[in-house]
């Protein structure tokens, strides 16, 4: 199935034009100069989890209920769940664009994300048509249109699952690190430059260190959003800004100060023993 979607993506270069249009439209809101509070909300920074996957449960669940209730002949309940699904689909679209926005350098995910969006839009259009048909008393046409929309939405949901679970879009880039739980030597204190971000490599866990006078702060060197190298970012006090998309993390505890990241960094306790900086993971 992976090869099928890869071939599908490769066969649709026209999706790049749609991607460029969508990117330009969303740039003022989601770009580097977009309002931080709005971005934090849409990405799910406040939730400590991407917002989009949570919202998608609403249209998928509601429209599944619509299909079942239509088959059972429960017209009033079917119409109600259809409308709930429409509202959820709009919310899903609004929260889905941020998930996709920062994938412009990844051709396959970028194209599949646009295809996912176009299919969802088509499904939403069919459900809106079904709503109108039902309101006019054209029950059979309304049910048939909704069933067509459900099929398209299901295929689109499968693509969304592929993006998340096969390609790892929206998954924390720290998820498979193995931070040391015991005190581990990382660098001589004298070799650690004061006020600069310094990267050290541990097995399966790159770490960024910040010496601030006699204090040392440490966290994962990999941005949880799309994997940017935080040691190449900008420092502001104990905070570091990812050089790729501008996520801001506080190295004192790893928390996300501003998105697009929605998952905290792995943070570390630090100490200096016999002139050597040691770290160990702070339990998450």
In 3D space, the residue among 55, 69, 77, 66 whose CA is nearest the CA of residue 126 turns out to be 66
Structural domain range at position 203: 184-281
160, part of any domain: yes
Banded pLDDT at 211 (limits 50, 70, 90)? very high
CATH label of the domain that carries residue 216: 2.102.10.10
Q: Which residues pair with 119 in a beta bridge?
A: none
Among the candidates 132, 166, 200, a domain finishes at 166
Look up residue 40 and give its two tokens. 């934090």
CA 261/CA 258 separation, integer angstroms: 7
174, part of any domain: no
Exposure string over 6-24, b if 16+ CB within 10 A, otherwise e: eeebeeeeebeeebeebbe
Q: Which residues pair with 234 in a beta bridge?
A: 241
Higher confidence at residue 168 or residue 116? 116
Answer yes or no: do 129 and 207 share one domain.
no
Q: Give the pLDDT score at 104.
A: 81
Answer yes or no: do 27 and 130 share one domain.
yes
172, part of any domain: no
Predicted structure pTM score:
0.84
Residue 278: CA atoms inside 13 Å, Cβ hemisphere, count? 12
Answer yes or no: do 190 and 145 share one domain.
no
Number of domains in the chain: 2
Q: Helix 36-43 to helix 15-30 angle, to the nearest 10 degrees? A: 130
Answer yes or no: do 145 and 212 share one domain.
no
Answer yes or no: do 146 and 36 share one domain.
yes
Q: Where are the alpha helices (DSSP H) in 102-170?
A: 107-135, 139-161
Answer yes or no: do 70 and 143 share one domain.
yes
The bridge status of strand 215-220 relative to strand 267-273 is antiparallel
41, part of any domain: yes
Over the chain, what is the mean pLDDT? 92
Banded pLDDT at 170 (limits 50, 70, 90)? confident
Answer yes or no: do 265 and 200 share one domain.
yes
Answer yes or no: do 134 and 234 share one domain.
no
Q: Which residues pair with 131 in a beta bridge?
A: none
190, part of any domain: yes
3-state secondary structure of 218: strand
Answer yes or no: do 155 and 235 share one domain.
no
Q: Is 162 left (phi over 0), alpha (psi -120 to 50) or beta?
A: alpha
Q: Which residues pair with 270 in a beta bridge?
A: 279
Q: Give the pLDDT score at 2.
A: 55
Residue 104: CA atoms inside 13 Å, Cβ hemisphere, count? 18
In 3D space, the residue among 244, 256, 251 whose CA is nearest the CA of residue 268 turns out to be 251
Judge whether residue 9 has pLDDT over 70: yes
Q: Give the pLDDT score at 166.
A: 84
Judge whether residue 1 has pLDDT over 70: no
Q: Give the pLDDT score at 172.
A: 87
Banded pLDDT at 275 (limits 50, 70, 90)? very high
178, part of any domain: no
171, part of any domain: no
pLDDT more than 70, % of the chain: 99
Answer yes or no: do 147 and 251 share one domain.
no
Q: Give the pLDDT score at 155.
A: 95
Q: Give the pLDDT score at 196.
A: 93
3-state secondary structure of 239: strand
Evaluate whether 49 touches 57 at the Cβ level (below 8 Å). no
Among the candidates 166, 199, 217, a domain finishes at 166
176, part of any domain: no
* Stretch 180-198: mean pLDDT: 93
Q: Give the pLDDT score at 8.
A: 79
Answer yes or no: do 120 and 214 share one domain.
no
In angstroms, what CA-CA distances link 213 with 194, 205, 206?
Answer: 6, 25, 23
In angstroms, what CA-CA distances link 56 with 92, 150, 160, 174, 250?
Answer: 5, 14, 10, 24, 30
Banded pLDDT at 94 (limits 50, 70, 90)? very high
Answer yes or no: do 138 and 214 share one domain.
no
Please list, in sequence order, all residues whose beta carbon lies within 8 angstroms of the beta carbon of residue 1, skipping any fewer than 6 positions away. 162
Evaluate whether 126 touches 152 at the Cβ level (below 8 Å). yes
Q: Give the pLDDT score at 55.
A: 95
Among the candidates 166, 195, 218, a domain finishes at 166
CA 165/CA 102 separation, integer angstroms: 18
């Amino acid at each position: 199935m992976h090869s099928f979607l890869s071939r599908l993506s490769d066969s649709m270069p026209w999706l790049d034009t749609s991607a460029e249009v969508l990117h330009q439209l969303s740039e003022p809101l989601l770009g580097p100069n977009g309002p931080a509070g709005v971005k934090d909300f849409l990405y799910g920074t406040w939730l400590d989890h991407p917002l989009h996957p949570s919202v998608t449960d609403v249209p998928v669940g509601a429209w599944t209920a619509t299909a079942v209730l239509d088959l059972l002949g429960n017209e009033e309940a079917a119409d109600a769940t259809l409308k709930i699904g429409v509202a959820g689909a709009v919310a899903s679209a609004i929260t889905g664009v941020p998930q996709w926005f920062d994938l412009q350098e990844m051709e396959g995910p970028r194209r599949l994300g646009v295809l996912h969006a176009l299919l969802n839009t088509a499904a939403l259009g069919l459900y809106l048509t079904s709503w109108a048909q039902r309101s006019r008393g054209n029950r059979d046409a309304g049910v048939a249109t909704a069933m067509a929309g459900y099929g398209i939405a299901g295929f689109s949901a499968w693509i969304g699952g592929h993006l998340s679970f096969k390609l790892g879009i929206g998954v924390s880039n720290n998820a498979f690190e193995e931070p040391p739980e015991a005190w581990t030597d990382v660098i001589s204190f004298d070799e650690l430059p004061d006020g600069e971000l310094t990267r050290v490599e541990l097995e399966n866990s790159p770490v960024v260190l910040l010496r601030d006078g006699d204090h040392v702060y440490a966290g994962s060197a990999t941005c949880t959003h799309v994997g940017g190298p935080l040691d190449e970012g900008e420092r502001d006090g104990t905070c570091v800004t990812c050089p790729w998309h501008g996520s801001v993390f506080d190295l004192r505890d790893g928390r996300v100060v501003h998105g697009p990241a929605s998952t905290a960094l792995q943070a570390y306790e630090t100490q200096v023993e016999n002139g050597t900086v040691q770290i160990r993971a702070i339990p998450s």
